[in-house]
Amino acid sequence: MARIIVVTSGKGGVGKTTTSAAIAMGLAKKGHKTAVIDFDVGLRNLDLIMGCERRVVYDFVNVINGEATLNQALIRDKNCNLLYILPASQTRDKDALSKEGVGRVLDELKKDFKYIVCDSPAGIEKGAHLAMYFADDAFVVTNPEVSSVRDSDRMLGILASKSYRAEQNQEPIKEYLLLTRYSPERVKLGEMLSVEDVQDILSLHLLGVIPESKSVLNASNSGTPVILDEKSDAGQAYGDIVARYLGENRPHRFIDDKKGFFRKFFGSK
């Protein structure tokens, strides 16, 4: 049975697209046929992060409007042949999305794919609402600072009340917390909320912590999902997250300030 995962946050710039790209790649690398959809119509980014921007012919809106078939619009990833990308339209706005249209595309994808990752736009308006509406699981991406936490909380309320599952009185969407851009050193200095602080406010199952890392920016710039950079801390953290999501039991990392030899190698910045 296919599962639809929404990567959402409410707030912008917290790492939704980075996360969508990384976990979609991670799931595909684990042998699951995965599609990742960019719901940010008008502000298309996922294709850049996935490094397929030169191969976009048709997009999500074309498929919804029946101007192209799903197979024409899906782009196969260059690194993994089980991963497909459905890019957003850059020339349209969110009004081009409709509940019926999105539902139809997702239903078609469900026949063929094991996981469908929906990269939500920021905000709580139409695009974000449609990205989460049909979801089975939600990855709530949060930065360790108060405004991001509050926006995530708001988004969790919407997940609990305005999704298809909520409207049909089905089992609610499973919610997972992903804490991104985490810096144990800054937590120590009191500049950042700690994992405990965030957990206390959101009381949500923590799927993983992604450390603040240069490798994320490098990965974005080069158009390769950061999870493929297995040497990087962020890449490993996403690897852990995918493994945990698939049921593996892995201890949390990157939460504590690593002293000792790490410091010696990388300096204390």
Partner 1 sequence: MSTDSQKTPKTPMALEFKSSTFSVPVLVVASDDLAVIEQQLQEKTSLAPEFFKNSAVVLDLQEINKRDYDIDIVALTDTIRKAGLLPVGIRGGNAQQNKQALELLIPVYSMHSGSVSVENKKQKTIVVPVIETKADEDVGIETDATATTLITQPIRSGQRIYAAGDLVILSQVSAGAEIMAEGNIHVYNTLRGRALAGVRGNSEARIFCFDLQAELISIAGNYKISEDLDESVRNKPVQIYLQDQALIIKDIVLPH
Residues that bind partner 1 (CB under 8 A): 150, 153-154, 156-158, 160-161, 166-169, 172, 200-201, 203
CA–CA separation, 38 vs 88, rounded Å?
5
CA–CA separation, 108 vs 62, rounded Å?
15
CB of 13 to partner 1, least distance (A): 19
**In angstroms, what CA-CA distances link 102 with 25, 53, 70, 125?**
22, 22, 12, 15
The answer to whether residues 124 and 154 touch, using CB atoms and an 8 Å cutoff, is yes
Cβ proximity to partner 1: between 71 and 161 the closer is 161
Dig out the tokens for 133 from the structure.
């509406």
Cβ proximity to partner 1: between 166 and 206 the closer is 166
Cβ proximity to partner 1: between 76 and 154 the closer is 154
Cβ proximity to partner 1: between 33 and 110 the closer is 110
Nearest-Å Rg of the Cα atoms of the chain is 18
CA–CA separation, 256 vs 194, rounded Å?
10
Dig out the tokens for 122 from the structure.
């920021």
CA–CA separation, 211 vs 241, rounded Å?
12
Cβ proximity to partner 1: between 114 and 150 the closer is 150
Secondary structure string (H, E, C) spanning 81-101: CCEEEECCCCCCCHHHCCHHH
CB of 209 to partner 1, least distance (A): 21
CB of 42 to partner 1, least distance (A): 24
Dig out the tokens for 26 from the structure.
């991670």
The answer to whether residues 50 and 21 touch, using CB atoms and an 8 Å cutoff, is yes
CB of 200 to partner 1, least distance (A): 8
Cβ proximity to partner 1: between 201 and 243 the closer is 201
Cβ proximity to partner 1: between 172 and 223 the closer is 172
CB of 174 to partner 1, least distance (A): 13
Cβ proximity to partner 1: between 152 and 220 the closer is 152
Place of tokens 């504590």: 256
CB of 222 to partner 1, least distance (A): 37
**In angstroms, what CA-CA distances link 29 with 80, 84, 227?**
7, 12, 10
H-state helical runs in 87-144: 99-112, 126-133
CB of 156 to partner 1, least distance (A): 5
CB of 135 to partner 1, least distance (A): 16
